[in-house]
Amino acid sequence: MKKYLLILAAILLLWGCIAEDRTECTNPRGVFVSLTVRPERMSSVTRSADETAIRDLNLYLYDDNGNVVLHRYQTSATLRFECLPGDYRMCIAANLGRDMGENPTWEDFTVTHADKYDVLPMAYEGDITIIPSADGMLTLPAVEVQRCVSKISYNITVAPAVADIELRSVQLLSVPRSVSVFDMAAAPSDDPDDYTDCPEVELSGQQAAGDCYLLPNMQGTVAAITDQRQKNPENAPANASYLLIRAVRGSKVLAYYIYLGGNNTSDFNVRANVHYRFNILILGDSEVDTRISSYAVNVHDTYEENSVGGYCTYNPFQMLAVEIDGSPAPLTLRGRIGVAQGNAGAFCLNGSPVGEGRDLTLPEQPGPNVFGVNYAPGIYTTVNSQVVYTVTVEDDAGFAQSFDIGHRFANRLDVYIHPATAENGNGTVTVAGALYDAETSSLTHDRVVLCHEKGCTLTAVPEAGYRFEGWYSAADYKTRLSTSASYAYIPTSPEAAIFPKFTVNTRPLDDGGTANCYIAPELNTSYSFDATTMGNGRATTNIRPEPLRGAEARVLWETGTTRGAIVESAELTGDGRIVFRTGMTCGNAVIGLLDSRGVCIWSWHIWSVDYEIEATAQTYASGAVFMDRNLGALATDCTQAAAKGLYYQWGRKDPFSYPALATDAYTQAPTVYAPGFEYAESNPRTSGTESPYDVMTLEWATAHPTTYMDGVFYEDWEEWTSVADWLYVHHPNLWGNVTTGKNNISRTSHKSIYDPCPPGWKVPGAEDFAGIERIGVSAPYYVTIRCNSTQTAKIPLGGTFYEGRYDRNGSLGRLYTNAPYYLHWDDLTGVFHDVACTSILFDTSNYPPFVNTTDFYRYAANPVRCIRE
């Protein structure tokens, strides 16, 4: 019979020292271990109490080098000892009647034949793992020791037709004298002196029955024997065990040789821990009908085959096998299953709960009888995680044997870390508080993690050159669970998967908040920002942001003549971020977010400059803190056209490029546009739409960030009404000013989702320029102003961009404010014209006051100089 060790206790992560490394550990801590020893069931359990008695035990633990690291001798069936965590070979000898000492040899474990046994010698040998325990006490499952003897039961009957035959005796012969308890299946000796005979038992009459024991005698098989009449002294192995039955018939003395084994023909093996029953019918002087009822039952399931770290995990396709070796005929076997520990209602046999217990039909006798088993209590907790169930098999004669099968379950979490791709990079995950965790692939660093209801803590550790972006519930990275590197995982199902995402170590530009413009201060560097938020994402007067859901990121335009020189690449990641890489040249670019149809649904200005935005800021006389250059400027030398900065139609977030020269009114600085997003001018008259006003909307402006939008003017006799704005429905709150009409002109403003400035900065109000004065003119390049009592600033003379030209480039400079009205600076009187806005005018003429406020139509485009929020 096979030897089985039923592991019922939890096998946790082996973070302690294993046996062979204990000398290298610092202050190793021992574990107090408790386990019970009990006899393994025979193939048919006898009713004799002596066959199950355990009166003394010798326990030995061996390390990998074969050294004894622990010995215990005791008379109790429950062993308690202390040892270091590790892997050991455990040997237990029971009922030897003496202490075998600290360092016995293998021969010391030899037992000899006895005609009568008070208790049966038993033994167990197998591998065992001692694991750390939180409370220092580890309870192991029961160990089943195997009996070192076979039991022979005989039932002898003389057939009625030969009732004149009288039984006289029965005797068991050729019995091994000794055997090692740890090598009971060894090849037997060829020396006849190593065998003995049992005492003869006197008989009378025509019937007899009895039992006897012998040590195992594995004499093998003789394949040539096909009929029980051939199983005789002429064909049997020399030292095969047999029953000798003596009888008389009148004056004739009869002898019947009944050779033992697993069948009544070729098998001469007598195995340990097996109960053989012989029903012998004497038919005449030399004829005998030997009906051998010998069978062995093996019960096991497949859970341990798929266990992880000593724990079983959810699997609805596990199998329970009740295997019957040998034929029990004429007896019939039946079975029953019951749950001794765990949730009986959640333990299912063939899809139905076992509950109070269920009968098992065993149609294959002999053969394997297979059932589906599944333990699914929802999630596995410390209370329900351990399951012990008992399978009992009984025959018609009342002989029963029970098999206890136990498992400890845990919830499984697979942590999948994919290798580096364009969107995903390398990293690892550490785990704290789990029952067990291990790396399943050294290539991908995937892990398997086991836990109960309290879960565990996962910590993402990016490798050099990568950063952690978040935990996701699916491999497509659509549902993000957390952005924190440490994630407290609490199981909600017995099996789950989690996907930590690592990306190329991009520098997030939105740590300080989102906006429509980001400064990228380093060349050849990866950056990222949130592409699900409109501008700063805040609701302001008459403006409500909506979440963005794009399908693609694309560079719509960049300054210069070489594509990719400013922004080398841009892509939309699965978690809604745009990752882009700057090129080898400073400049300006616009990245668009496109939907699945290729329509731009939002866009962002990338200002790629080595610009210390805080270090160079200037405080004006009004107290407002300004940038020291126009938004989008690429130089501080105002004799260069690149110092003029970018141009914005009032209220729009998307910029237009600056003039190429100091005085040229029609040439735009070199700019590379993406196909389908080339620079264009919108004329509502020729839009081709049903209404000219269809192209004068916020939605159209957002979808066409590279198109300059004209107002529209009609003669009195035409059917349409002129609109001196790029919007048909005028919107005074686009840049955050709260004015809504001429009766509530306000100087209060908040940064809006259409504000073109970087995070932390916004379009200034008209009053923020108060107190400045012009102190110099350097036409056609710039004027110099006094910001406050100690600082000056230069204002480029780039003119105003409208109707396809940079009007008065080289002789006039304007800076936009967020005021949707015209502010008379001399008396701070505001006049609301519905289509006007206030800009600060820097003129080169000598007519005072040199610096003034002015109004113009909102479709005009002027530079912006941002102030700190």
Is the distance from CB of 14 to CB of 129 less than 8 angstroms?
Answer: yes
Report pLDDT for 398.
63
* pLDDT tens, residue by residue, 422-453: 445 578 999 999 999 999 888 888 999 999 99
**CB-based contacts of 862: which residues, under 8 Å, 6+ apart?**
647, 648, 650, 800, 801, 814, 815, 816, 839
Q: Coil, strand, or helix at residue 694?
A: helix
Q: Is the pLDDT of residue 19 over 80?
A: no
Q: Does CATH number 1.10.287 belong to domain 295-406?
A: no
Name the CATH architecture for the domain at 1-148. Sandwich (2.60)
Inter-CA distances, 629 with 529, 793, 794, Å: 24, 8, 8
Answer CATH for 507-538+554-608 from 3.40.1350, 3.30.1450, 3.30.465, 2.60.40: 2.60.40
Q: Please give the backbone phi and psi of residue 20, each rounded to the nearest 5 degrees, phi first.
A: -75, -15
Q: What band does 720 get if pLDDT is binned at 50, 70 and 90?
A: very high
Report pLDDT for 289.
57
CB atoms under 10 Å from CB of 567, counted, come to: 24
Inter-CA distances, 836 with 146, 401, 743, 815, Å: 100, 98, 15, 14
Q: Among 267-271, 367-371, 400-404, which is the least confidently predicted range?
A: 400-404
Residue 802 has which token pair?
């409208």
* DSSP letter, residue 671: E
**CB-based contacts of 690: which residues, under 8 Å, 6+ apart?**
none
Q: How many Å apart are CA 460 and CA 467, to the nearest integer?
A: 9
Residue 816 has which token pair?
């936009």
Q: What band does 10 get if pLDDT is binned at 50, 70 and 90?
A: very low
Q: How many Å apart are CA 575 and CA 653, to the nearest integer?
A: 24
Name the CATH architecture for the domain at 411-504. Sandwich (2.60)
Numbered ranges of CATH 2.60.40.2580 in the chain: 1-148
Report pLDDT for 554.
97
- Does residue 67 or residue 39 have the better pLDDT? 67
Tracing tokens 């870390």 back to the chain, one arrives at: 417
Q: Is the pLDDT of residue 515 over 50?
A: yes
Report pLDDT for 426.
77
* DSSP letter, residue 703: H
Sign of CA dihedral 347, 353, 358, 361: negative
Q: Tell me the DSSP string of 515-554.
A: -SEEE--SSS-EEEEESSSSTT---BTTB-------SEEE
Helix (H) or strand (E) holding 167: strand 165-173
Report pLDDT for 445.
87
Amino acid sitting at position 79: L
Inter-CA distances, 569 with 320, 432, 792, Å: 58, 39, 38
Q: How many Å apart are CA 399 and CA 395, to the nearest integer?
A: 6
Q: Among 4-13, 94-103, 206-215, 587-596, which is the least confidently predicted range?
A: 4-13
Q: Is the pLDDT of residue 38 over 80?
A: no
Is the distance from CB of 126 to CB of 5 less than 8 angstroms?
Answer: yes
Q: Is the pLDDT of residue 14 over 70?
A: no
Over residues 267-287, mean pLDDT: 87
Let me know if 433 is exposed, middle or buried by CB neighbors in 10 A (0-12, 13-18, 19+): middle
Fold of 150-294: Immunoglobulin-like (2.60.40)
Q: Is the entire prediction scored with pTM above 0.75?
A: no
Numbered ranges of CATH 2.60.40.3690 in the chain: 150-294
Report pLDDT for 143.
87
Q: Coil, strand, or helix at residue 180?
A: strand
Is the distance from CB of 460 to CB of 472 less than 8 angstroms?
Answer: no
Q: What band does 419 get if pLDDT is binned at 50, 70 and 90?
A: low
Is the distance from CB of 55 to CB of 171 less than 8 angstroms?
Answer: no
Q: What is the mean pLDDT of the chain?
A: 89
* pLDDT tens, residue by residue, 140-175: 888 889 999 999 999 999 999 888 999 989 999 999
Is the distance from CB of 487 to CB of 509 less than 8 angstroms?
Answer: no
* pLDDT tens, residue by residue, 815-851: 999 999 999 988 888 999 889 899 999 999 876 667 8
